[in-house]
Amino acid sequence: MVAERAITRASGRGTSSPGVLVLDVIYLATTLVLFALVGVIAKAVEKLGPRPGGSAQRPALRGEEQG
């Protein structure tokens, strides 16, 4: 009987209650929501920034050839 309890404790089975499982699920869900929120905020900040200039032509400066 004592050896059986020791094996159960060592294997990690039978030591967690249903409440701990619920807390684990809540923790995982919260982590996923936070990562999604950071992604949405990063995308919004990216849209607020200046648009890339691309390869639009500009007037030639002195010493540059226009091509």
Q: What pLDDT is attached to residue 50?
A: 78
Q: What pLDDT is attached to residue 18?
A: 84
Give me 17's structure tokens: 């209650």
Confidence bin at 65 (pLDDT 50/70/90) = low
- For residues 45 and 52, give the distance between their C-alpha atoms in angstroms, rounded to a whole number: 14
- For residues 40 and 38, give the distance between their C-alpha atoms in angstroms, rounded to a whole number: 6
Q: What pLDDT is attached to residue 64?
A: 65
The residue count for the chain: 67
Q: Do 40 and 33 meet the contact criterion of CB atoms below 8 Å apart?
A: no
Q: Using one digit for the tens of pLDDT, what is the confidence trace for 11-60?
A: 555 566 888 999 999 999 999 999 999 999 999 999 998 776 666 666 77
Tell me the domain boundaries of the chain.
Answer: 16-48
Q: What is the pTM assigned to this prediction?
A: 0.50
* Inter-CA distances, 23 with 27, 55, 56, Å: 6, 53, 55
